[in-house]
Amino acid sequence: MTSENIGALNDIRVVELGQLIAGPFCGQLLGDMGAEVIKVEPPRQGDPMRNWGHGEEKLWWEVVSRNKKSVSANLRIPEGQEIVRKLVEHADILIENFKPGTMEKWGLGPDVLHAINPRLIIVRVSGYGQTGPYSSRAGFGGIGEAMGGWRYIVGDPDRAPSRMGVSIGDSLAATYGCLGALASLHARERTGKGQVVDSALYEAVLQVMESMVPEYMVSGHIRKRTGSILEGVSPSNVYPTSDGEYLIGANQDAVFARLCNAMKRSDLASDERYATHLARARNLRELDEIIADWTRTLTVEQLEQLMIEHSVPAGKIFRAPEMLDDPHFEAREALVEVETERWGRFKMQGPFPKLSDTPSAIRRPAPTQVGQDNGEIYEGLLGLEPNEIARLKDAQAI
C-alpha cells in the first residue's frame, strides 16, 4: 500500500452511488487506476457490502471499497438529493446501479445532472439496461448470467445449470461500465461533453459468449453443458494424479505431440483417432481416459515438471493457500498486503492490469465508518458551513 498516486486517473473524481457489487466494483477499478472515488452511502447502515463475504469474518468490503472515501447521504429525501447535485459540480464520473427510473424519481436523471455539469460521464449499470421492455424489471447478476447464455452451458449435462462460485455477471457489467467510462473520457477530450454509459448485466455476459448465437443461426447448433470439458476441444481437462488433480490443455496439434512425448506415447500423435484437432474431438472421452491412466501414476509435482520440460500448457488447481505460497504471485505482486484498522494486515488481489508508466495502486484501505470523510468532502470540497452540516444531520440527510 502506498500514499503516492501516479495512477493514470489521478486527476479524475468519481462519485459512486451504487451499492452491492456491480456499481462498487466499477468504482474499485477506477479507484485503483488513481481516481478519487467518493462513495455515497445511506446514513448509519451504509452499503450492504460491509456485511458480505464468506467465512466467519466478512471481508469483501475491504476489497471492493479500497481507495474510496465514504460520505453519507439519504438519497430518498430532497436534502440528500441536493448533496449529490452539489457533488456532481465537482465530478468527472458518476456511477449508479439502481433500478432504471430510480435516479429520475430522485431528480437525479441524466438531463438534470448534465444541466449541472455537461462534462459529467454517467455510468449506469442495471439488469436489463436503461431501455427495452424489460428495463423496469429488477435484475441481479445471476439473472443476467441466465439471460446472457452463461448459466445454460455451465455444469454437468445430467444436472441443472450451475453457477460460478463468484458473481461473474456483476463483475463483467462493472468492467464494461469502467471500459465505457474510459472511452467516454477520451471522447470528452474531443467534444468537451460527457455522456451516459449504459451497461446491462445480461449484455455484459452476452459479450463473452463467443460465437454461440451465430453457430445456432448458421448451423442450428445449441451449446450444451459439458462438465469439465469443452465440446470439440481435446485434450483439455482436469486429470487425476496420485495426490490430487492437475489441469492440462494440449488441444493444439503440435502441443498434443509434445504431451505424447512426455507420456512416452508418441504413437498417439500419429494415430488417426487422435492426430488432428477434429479427430481428437470425436474421440475426446477415450483420449481423456488414456491420459488419466497415465497421470494417476504421477504426483502433481512430477507431472508439473514433465509439462514444463515438454512445454505443454498446464497448471495446478489453485486455492487461496496455494496463491499465498506461490513465487509467481509474489514476484508479480498479484497479491498485495493492506493494513486495515479493523482486521490488521492481510493480502488481497493487487490492481490490474499493470501499467508501466502510470501504475495503479492501493493507496488507502476501505473506509471503516459510514460517512467518515464527510468533513473533508462536505466542508472542504463543497464548502458547506458547520451550521449547514448540523442542519443536514438534524434532517437525517447525512
List active site positions. 170
d(CA 106, CA 79): 11
Cell numbers linked to 273? 483417432
Q: For residue 75, how far is the Cα from the chain centroid?
A: 26
Nearest-CA neighbor of 307 among 246, 244, 245, 238?
246
DSSP 8-class letter at 49 = G
d(CA 128, CA 213): 19
The string over 78-93, giving b where at least 16 C-beta atoms fall within 10 Å of a residue's C-beta and e elsewhere, is: eebbebbebbbeebbb
d(CA 98, CA 79): 19
37 burial level (CB within 10 Å; 0-12, 13-18, 19+) = buried
d(CA 365, CA 344): 11
Other Cβ atoms closer than 10 A to 341:
10
**Where do we find the cell 486495515?**
340
d(CA 16, CA 38): 6
Nearest-CA neighbor of 75 among 115, 107, 33, 38?
107
* Contact between residue 38 and residue 65 where contact means Cβ atoms under 8 Å apart: no
d(CA 351, CA 6): 13
d(CA 81, CA 94): 14
d(CA 267, CA 80): 73
d(CA 373, CA 386): 15
Q: For residue 58, how far is the Cα from the chain centroid?
A: 18
Nearest-CA neighbor of 365 among 61, 95, 16?
61
Other Cβ atoms closer than 10 A to 235:
22
What's at 76, amino acid-wise? Answer: R
